[in-house]
Structure formats: C-alpha cells, structure tokens
C-alpha cells in the first residue's frame, strides 16, 4: 500500500534541461569566431561528467566546466568583456523563469490530500532550494530532500529519515537512471514520466531496465488515477 510519493523536480515538475541546451548557442554568440564549437561543446559535456564528483550538479557546476573549456580552446587571451558576458549568461540561467509541467499543480494538490509527498531533487542545495521556492509548489510537500546523488543508498537514507518503508513508497520522475532503477532495486515502486529533453548522462541501456517492473505515464495528469489503482 502506497503511503508516500516522491517527486523528482527538474524535468518532472518543471522544465529545466532546455536551459543548458539553449546556453550553448549563446556562448558561441558571445565568443564569436575562432573556436571549433563542435569540439568545445563535446569537451564541455565530458568535463561536466568528469567534474561531478568535485562540483556536483547544477548551473554553477556547468559554469566552472564551461569557463575551463573556453580557456582551453581559446588561442589567445579571453577579453574581459567576453568573460563578463559569459558570467552574465550564467546569472541569466539562474534567474530564468522555468515552466511548471502541465498538470503538476493539480496532481500535487489531489495527491497531497491523501499521501505524504516528498520532493527529492539532485543538485546544489542553494540552487535547488531557490528553484523550489520560485516554483510555488513547495507547500504541497511534507519534506524536501536535496541530494548529491540518487543511488540506492540515497533513497534508503531518505526513506529512513522520513520513517517510510520502501514497500509504501512510490517515486515519480523523468530519469530511468536516477528516479526509477534505484527505487525499484530497494523494494519501492516507481513511475516513469519521460521528458522530451533527456540529459545525455542519464541515458541507460534497455538491458538494465528489462529486468525490473515500473509504471509509465505520459503526463502528471494521469498520476492520481494510476496511484489509486495501486491500492
Ligand atoms: Mg529530472
């Protein structure tokens, strides 16, 4: 019997990955000619993954990896006006008004009346807490957990902290790797709601998913009915 529902935030409750995608042409526009952008952005993606252990996830981590790669690919000193424009771009990314996903508010409102809702989001605390505040959805949640990783161990600890048994827990999210697989492996249930934009790092193989059972919905509007039929 489900008693608590965990929600992923980025690209589940609100659109966010597109902010990173849209930053790349803006970076190219600021820097102008003289760079191999195919290489620069390929190396940037690699640097982001390589730096996760040091910086974690988020816009500020992206900024450090981006500046490192711009410096590496620059054949001459980077002019200070361009550096300032890149910093302004980062500030714009942090201040961008993101869109709440269709049906998110209705689903949270309906489900919060009968279940304990927990927001479980991966990233840098200040950055994520600021987004949660700006989303206007914070009031629906009994608890908010900002975590550095979403592994089996992470979910075990989150459930323990909140006094929830895995068999009473359902996780909802857009990432098979972060929101679905680890939760099923610790004995919980999970519903995948794919987002049109997936981060390259989050893609996993079909073989990894074929051995587990999880729900799949098109949008959050279908979630309350799905949860009710689980009882
Ligand atoms: Mg997500």
Q: Domain of 80?
A: 17-95
CATH of residue 36's domain is 1.10.150.240
Phi-psi region of 19 (alpha: psi -120 to 50; beta: other; left: phi over 0): alpha
pLDDT digits (tens, 9 = 90+) for 198-218: 655 556 777 777 778 999 999
pLDDT above 80 for 21: yes
Residues 153, 69, single domain; the answer is no
pLDDT above 90 for 172: yes
Give the span between the Cα atoms of 83 and 169, in whole angstroms.
Answer: 46
Query: What was the pLDDT predicted at 212?
Result: 86
Task: Give ion ligand 1 contacts, CB < 5 A.
Answer: 8, 10-11, 174-175
pLDDT above 90 for 9: yes
Predicted TM-score (pTM) of the model is 0.90
Give the span between the Cα atoms of 45 and 11, in whole angstroms.
Answer: 19
Which residue among 37, 70, 95 closes a domain? 95
Which residue among 77, 95, 113 closes a domain? 95
Average pLDDT, the chain: 93
Over residues 55-79, mean pLDDT: 90
pLDDT above 80 for 156: yes
Distance 12 CA to ligand 1 centre (A): 5
Residues 126, 58, single domain; the answer is no
Residues 146, 210, single domain; the answer is yes
Distance 183 CA to ligand 1 centre (A): 14
Residues 90, 111, single domain; the answer is no
Q: Which of 17, 15, 191 is nearest to 111 (CA)?
A: 191
Q: Tell me the β-bridge partners of 216.
A: 192
Distance 37 CA to ligand 1 centre (A): 27
Distance 10 CA to ligand 1 centre (A): 4
CATH of residue 206's domain is 3.40.50.1000
Distance 32 CA to ligand 1 centre (A): 32
Distance 139 CA to ligand 1 centre (A): 20
State CA 12 to chain mean position distance: 8
Contacts (Cβ under 8 Å, ≥6 apart) of 190: 170, 171, 172, 173, 179, 180, 183, 184, 214, 215
Over residues 124-128, mean pLDDT: 93
Residues 198, 110, single domain; the answer is yes
pLDDT above 80 for 197: no
Which residue among 63, 95, 127 closes a domain? 95
At 1, is the pLDDT very low, low, confident or very high (cuts 50, 70, 90)?
very high
> What's the number of domains the chain is made of?
2
pLDDT digits (tens, 9 = 90+) for 72-119: 888 778 899 999 999 999 999 999 989 999 999 999 999 999 999 999
Residues 133, 161, single domain; the answer is yes
Distance 229 CA to ligand 1 centre (A): 25
The values of phi and psi at residue 22, to 5°, are -75, -20
């Amino acid at each position: 019997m489900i008693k608590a529902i965990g929600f992923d935030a980025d690209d589940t409750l609100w659109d966010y990955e597109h902010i990173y995608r849209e930053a790349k042409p803006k970076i190219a526009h600021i820097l102008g000619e003289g760079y191999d952008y195919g290489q620069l952005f390929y190396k940037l993606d690699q640097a982001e993954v390589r730096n996760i252990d040091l910086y974690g996830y988020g816009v500020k981590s992206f900024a450090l990896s981006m500046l490192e790669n711009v410096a590496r690919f620059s054949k001459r000193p980077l002019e200070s006006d361009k550096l300032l424009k890149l910093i302004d771009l980062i500030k714009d990314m942090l201040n961008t008004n993101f869109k709440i996903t269709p049906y998110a508010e209705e689903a949270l409102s309906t489900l919060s009346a009968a279940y304990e809702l927990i927001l479980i989001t991966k990233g840098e605390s200040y950055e994520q807490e600021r987004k949660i505040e700006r989303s206007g959805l914070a009031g629906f949640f009994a608890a908010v957990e900002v975590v550095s990783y979403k592994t089996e161990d992470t979910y075990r600890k989150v459930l323990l902290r909140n006094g929830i048994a895995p068999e009473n827990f359902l996780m909802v999210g857009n990432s098979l790797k972060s929101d679905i697989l680890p939760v099923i492996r610790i004995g919980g249930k999970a519903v995948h709601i794919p987002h049109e934009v997936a981060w390259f790092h989050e893609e996993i193989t079909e073989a990894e998913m074929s051995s587990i059972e999880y729900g799949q919905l098109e949008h959050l509007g279908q979630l309350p009915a799905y949860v009710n039929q689980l009882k």
